[in-house]
Amino acid sequence: MNDNRLEPTLHELSRPGRVAVTMPAPSRRANIPPELLRDELRLPEISQLDVVRHYTRLSQLNYSIDTQMYPLGSCTMKLNPKVNDAITAMPGFADAHPMQTADQSQGSLAVMHGLQRILAEITGMDDASLAPLAGAQGELAGVLVIKAYLESIGEKRTTIVVPDSAHGTNPATAAMAGFNVVAVQPQPDGDMDLEHLREALEEHGPTVAALMITQPSTLGLFDRNIVQVAKVVHGHGALMYGDGANLNAITGQVKPGDLGFDVMHINLHKTFSQPHGGGGPGAGPIVVKEHLVPFLPSPHVVLDAGGSTLEAGSNRGSSNLHPPASSFALVDPPFSIGRLGAFHGNFAVLLRAYAYISSLGGEGLRAMSEAAVLNANYIRARLRDAYYLAHEERTCMHEALFSAKKQKAQAGVKALDIAKRLIDYGYHPPTMYFPLVVDEALLIEPTESESKETVDAFCDAMLAIAREVETDPELVRTAPHTAPLGRLDEATAARKPKLRW
């Protein structure tokens, strides 16, 4: 093998005539109109062992939650319990066809209906839609719901206010839903600047449809002005959209619905432990207050009129969560924004989240956020002398926001360099350069899954790197030294794209 390659591609492994699996021969000649047939199909031809080795070897080039701490801020890389995988593989779920009728699908619908109620209960909202296939699609659904609601009351509002610190999907979503984006800046202490918000609302007046705000914020802080913010926003006839990507910090501690949010999305692949799969699948359910329920995406799971209805507060115990069989139905809400995908959402992801929440129960969810927040504050305390800490006068939520500006000024070592050096210590780097409002940002999210020993070892590594910056900055600037590859040339990749074999 040419040693310029870590692993040959499938194409390079291919040899004419090899097979990894054989299929039975058709019993008769397919009588296909020749003008429809393709003449050439260039797929790889590889032996079974080579396929197995190819993927096994490639997997070994990855860092992952199963192999090391992965403190990627805003991403909530927590334990992914294997029992949840076992559940999704049960034939009763895995072989359920999405076009089967509701009466044949009561088990799946029970899971979905249960999850809709659980998510509404956790967030203090009235109902949920499980249709969105990821966080960003949940945002799109939520903003389209807002648009439909405003249209229904005869209002044409065209602007969405988004803080500068927001995740990129927020403004991108607002644009996809046809809105203009107006930015607002947070105060120096990280909370929403009420004055600036009032000004923005006054300036754009009756055109403002909503404020999209992340709570806790992308700075890892709980916005202390949130109740006031909601009042101001509602006072202008606009709605409160919550980006729930950081729900892990507050589950069981506070219900966003109580704070004035009208709609929010939840990333099940963050707070509720869907494994991230190298970039999905996730799911981005939205939860809404009553006035928005009629606009939810299709389909929505409801109890059939014939089934028993549940009174609020009567859903203790899993038996009550699931009324008698044959009582769930899939419906289109009356003024639905429509469909976001072919079927009912990422069902297996929903099932994993349902299983995860069932494993924790209400008190367990509270213990989860508590431990996540304690771990983050502990990291903050241990690293604050070595690294510049944003908002140092405050306590953080589930993630600690540092900056490498001290190291940059001292030795020209950037957040990127520190991130790469962590790889040598066996940790996945934290999120870097996000949020954009803090220079040289390093956003560290340990989650509740990590033990004190692991968190301590991670802090020791961060402290060791801070010392290296003083004694041997070049070592840090040229890291990683032990990874399968050194730093990659991203500029050339973008300038001369080679996107396929």
Partner 1 sequence: MTIDVARIPDAPNRRLGDTPIVQHPYIPLTDDDRKAMLATVGVRATADLFADIPAEHFRPEIDLPDALTELELLDHTRTLAARNRTAADNACFLGAGAYRHFRPSLIDPLVMRGEFLTSYTPYQPEVAQGTLQTIFEFQSLVCELTGMDVANAGMYDGASALAEACLMACAVTGRKRIAISDRVHPNSIATVRAYAHGRDIPVEVQPHGEFSLSDEYACLAVQQPDFLGRMAVAASEWGDAAHHAGALFVVAADPVSLGLFRAPAQYGADIVVGEGQSLGVPLSFGGPYVGLFACREKYTRQMPGRIVGETTDTNGRRGYVLTLQTREQHIRRERATSNICTSQQLIALSTAMYLATLGPTGLRRVGELCFDKAHELAARIEHLPGFSVEDDEPWFHEFVVRTPKPPVEINAALLERGIIGGLDVSDIRNRMLLCVTEMNTADELDRMVEALAEVSR
Ligand X SMILES: Cc1ncc(COP(=O)(O)O)c(C=O)c1O
Distance separating alpha carbons of residues 212 and 423, to the nearest angstrom: 35
243 binds, among ligand X, partner 1, none (CB under 5 to 8 A by kind): ligand X
> Could you tell me if 271 and 247 are in contact, meaning their C-beta atoms sit under 8 angstroms apart?
yes
Distance separating alpha carbons of residues 404 and 387, to the nearest angstrom: 6
Q: Which of 80, 116, 267, 449 binds ligand X (CB under 6 A)?
A: 267
- The piece of 93-101, 129-137, 344-352, 461-469 that touches ligand X (CB under 6 A) is 129-137
| CA 369-248-113 angle, 5° bins | 110
- Identify any residues that bridge with 365 across adjacent strands, giving them in sequence order: none
284 binds ligand X (CB under 6 A): yes
Q: Which of 157, 167, 344, 420 binds ligand X (CB under 6 A)?
A: 167
Task: Count CB neighbours of 123 within 10 A.
Answer: 26
DSSP state of 309: P
Distance separating alpha carbons of residues 288 and 247, to the nearest angstrom: 15
429 binds ligand X (CB under 6 A): no
Rank residues 305 and 488 by Cβ distance to partner 1 and give the closer one.
Answer: 488
> Rounded to the nearest whole angstrom, what is the least distance from the CB of residue 255 to partner 1 in the complex?
5
> Rounded to the nearest whole angstrom, what is the least distance from the CB of residue 420 to partner 1 in the complex?
7
134 binds ligand X (CB under 6 A): yes
Query: What is residue 170's three-state secondary structure?
Result: helix
> Rounded to the nearest whole angstrom, what is the least distance from the CB of residue 146 to ligand X in the complex?
17
Give the x-and-dash track for 74-113 against ligand X (CB under 6 A).
x---------------------------------------
Rank residues 9 and 410 by Cβ distance to partner 1 and give the closer one.
Answer: 9
Burial profile 371-390: b = 16 or more Cβ within 10 angstroms, e = fewer: bbbebbbbbbebbeebbbbb
169 binds ligand X (CB under 6 A): yes
Residue 134 burial by CB count (10 A; 0-12/13-18/19+): exposed, middle or buried?
buried
User: What is the pairing mode between strands 400-403 and 388-389?
Assistant: antiparallel
Rank residues 170 and 470 by Cβ distance to partner 1 and give the closer one.
Answer: 170
> Rounded to the nearest whole angstrom, what is the least distance from the CB of residue 284 to ligand X in the complex?
5
> Rounded to the nearest whole angstrom, what is the least distance from the CB of residue 75 to ligand X in the complex?
6
Which are the contacts of 468, defined by CB distance < 8 A and separation ≥ 6?
421, 475, 476
Give the closest residue to 414 by CA, choosing from 353, 476, 372, 343.
476
Residue nearest to ligand X (CB): 135
254 binds, among partner 1, ligand X, none (CB under 5 to 8 A by kind): partner 1
Rank residues 95 and 195 by Cβ distance to partner 1 and give the closer one.
Answer: 95
Residues 315-344 that bind ligand X (CB under 6 A): none
Look at the block and give the residue holding tokens 């600690």: 400
Q: Which of 119, 136, 144, 184 binds ligand X (CB under 6 A)?
A: 136
Q: Which of 123, 218, 407, 449 binds ligand X (CB under 6 A)?
A: 218
Look at the block and give the residue holding tokens 């790469």: 420
Residues that bind ligand X (CB under 6 A): 74, 134-136, 167, 169, 214, 218, 243, 245, 267, 282, 284
